[in-house]
Structure 1
């Protein structure tokens, strides 16, 4: 019953926003005529990709040996992908720069194109959503004021801070630890402590951790080989001081490597949660998927009300994920929603610019986030 009420509220808000879209953008702007622009870009793509493929396929057939053919094939495929990406990105950028300001206004917000550069975010670090030190890169940013609450909704990438060089060219190759949507809401309530919600199975394995773990495993393997050599020598030649040193050295290095492996895999996460208290909630559906922690049990229970949990779970249903994260810290609510696609992309070469399904999904997702403000009553200026 509660879930149905929330679904109705989100649907009603989404429909209201979609109505504003059709009244203020579809009817009053030239977005319908942008369809010609889409077809023009699509023609370039349809013409350029096959032409490039045919040219390089011909070069492959004319190659004198297999090595030359493979080189030409790899270069050709790379060029085809490059042409496709450039045309697609060019169209998407033109569509955003032309219409996204107007689209943001239908929600009462403003739109800003991110600078595609990883930067340190104190809000993310203090939120405790990630146990490692991370940096953040934002793409589409919707920001402003909704029902008296300052907010920012952004598509963003999270990466291990060790890889954040400040150079946009090299950072295009930075492995992502997290990709999705972040919602930042300024709570008018005073939040003294930190309360977090994470997926029940939450194993963060960043690229840097993976590299270190592989190195440790190699050290452990080498130590095991040394240990084995020492034991074999002792069995065949009897006990001696050099052999015992081989055995002790190999055993010590192997034990140290195993300890470091466990430290990265498990112990750091346990230390990260050491000062947190587990907040046990009575919602069965929530407990199947998530765990809540807080520095303060009383404040944690005050924040994680039944009303909020219902809205939180519904956000997961709208975005089709059960791996949400959220944090209450420093008078902010921060929500992290993982995604495996480009978010908020209304302009695509392969669908009309007025595609109703895309528009509906866009406003459904935005509405599910805005409804958190209405029902959590973040706009009420009260203390605990």
Structure 2
């Protein structure tokens, strides 16, 4: 398949491919989807009813046990425990049907849908963008736990790229003192520059404190135990809370004083500046990178993924985007919606196309732009 396809041609081929190859498969799966949906609701309703019966049986236990022989007491308790266990088990298993159905659809159809995108492969949970690369981008604060879902890798117009749907967390402590701070949830996009970017340029949504070396995020993490104690001992904990904040702020200044200094970049687009901040260690290079056309495509990424927050980093020989969203991305079919309607497939196409459009903007295959 030719690599340099225009957006319009690719769109036409995608929908042609959908009608000829995917739609017939989806129609054959519709009856299966309805059966799986019926099983899902049966398990949910049954689980709830069983758990609701447990407290009812406890309330009635005194009157019931007074009328039956002691020999039946153990059997009665076992019956209650069976009801409770089955209820919990059904409610635990039921949500897995949603994930399993989506994975089955992807396994059977995704490779056919991706044909029009050329050199691209789908994976799941492999961490194709490793933790070291995420830290190198400076887009994320410290994290020690990671969950990865859909991933894509390939090449477009000679540009290698990686796409990773991931969730980053910073977890500390255990038991009642366990804290879990969300660092990032969404999609990370990385592709290679045609030359080494010697300076760093970053974009982040205003109010995003989850970037690397954020003293505020560190403060919140360390302060969680104090916040829990604040109700019992307000005065002492409040003082400790403020002091800890000052220590985190001062410590971050000392620890990272030798790191690359990023100054704010003032851009001419008032709509963009109202929502985002731009920083760079080189103002001239930043203005060369952050053109009007780039800003337009960057905002299109937000729209395609329905995101409220987004950030970007130019560093070394890489460009990385991090689009924050709680939505389940890159889905082509749902247990709860008819497969005969192409809404999910259209959304999937728009998500991938917005990424290809961003890569296309830099025209890295022609060695111009950066």
Same fold by TM-score greater than 0.5: yes
Deviation larger for 269-278 or 101-110: 269-278
What per-residue deviation string (whole Å, max 9, x for no partner) do you get for residues 6-40 of structure 1? xxx9787545533333334335xx33212222122
How much has 1:86 moved relative to structure 2?
Answer: 2.3
Structure 1 residue matching 2:59: 3-state secondary structure: coil
Spell out the pairing of 1:186-225 with structure 2 (5 A cutoff).
Answer: 186-204=192-210, 209-216=219-226, 224=235
**Counterpart position of 1:232:** none
**Counterpart position of 1:246:** none
Spell out the pairing of 1:16-55 with structure 2 (5 A cutoff).
Answer: 16-26=13-23, 30-55=25-50
2:184 to 169, 174, 178: 178
* Relative contact order, higher structure (CA 8 A, sep 6+): 1
2:277 to 273, 287, 291: 291
Alpha-carbon contact 1:189-1:383 (below 8 Å) kept: no
TM-score normalised by the chain length of structure 2: 0.76
1:110 to 117, 121, 124: 121
- Aligned CA distance change for structure 1 residues 99 and 209 (closer, same or farther; 3 Å): farther
Higher strand content, 1 or 2: 2
What per-residue deviation string (whole Å, max 9, x for no partner) do you get for residues 141-191 of structure 1? 11111121111122111222x669xxxxxxxx9654211111111122432
- Aligned CA distance change for structure 1 residues 268 and 102 (closer, same or farther; 3 Å): farther
In 2, distance between residues paired with 1:378 and 1:34? 41
- Residue 347, structure 1, aligned to residue 336, structure 2: no
How much has 1:344 moved relative to structure 2?
Answer: 1.2
**Counterpart position of 2:66:** none
How much has 1:304 moved relative to structure 2?
Answer: 1.1
**Counterpart position of 2:245:** 261
Structure 2 residue matching 1:194: 3-state secondary structure: strand
Unaligned runs of 5+ in 2: 1-5, 63-76, 174-178
Structure 2 residue matching 1:57: 3-state secondary structure: helix
Unaligned runs of 5+ in 1: 1-8, 165-172, 226-252
- Aligned CA distance change for structure 1 residues 52 and 158 (closer, same or farther; 3 Å): closer
**Counterpart position of 1:127:** 137
Alpha-carbon contact 1:118-1:137 (below 8 Å) kept: no
- Aligned CA distance change for structure 1 residues 86 and 254 (closer, same or farther; 3 Å): closer
Alpha-carbon contact 2:143-2:183 (below 8 Å) kept: no
Alpha-carbon contact 1:197-1:325 (below 8 Å) kept: yes
Please report the RMSD computed on the Cα atoms of aligned residues, expressed in angstroms. 3.9
- Aligned CA distance change for structure 1 residues 224 and 59 (closer, same or farther; 3 Å): closer
Structure 2 residue matching 1:331: 3-state secondary structure: strand
TM-score normalised by the chain length of structure 1: 0.74
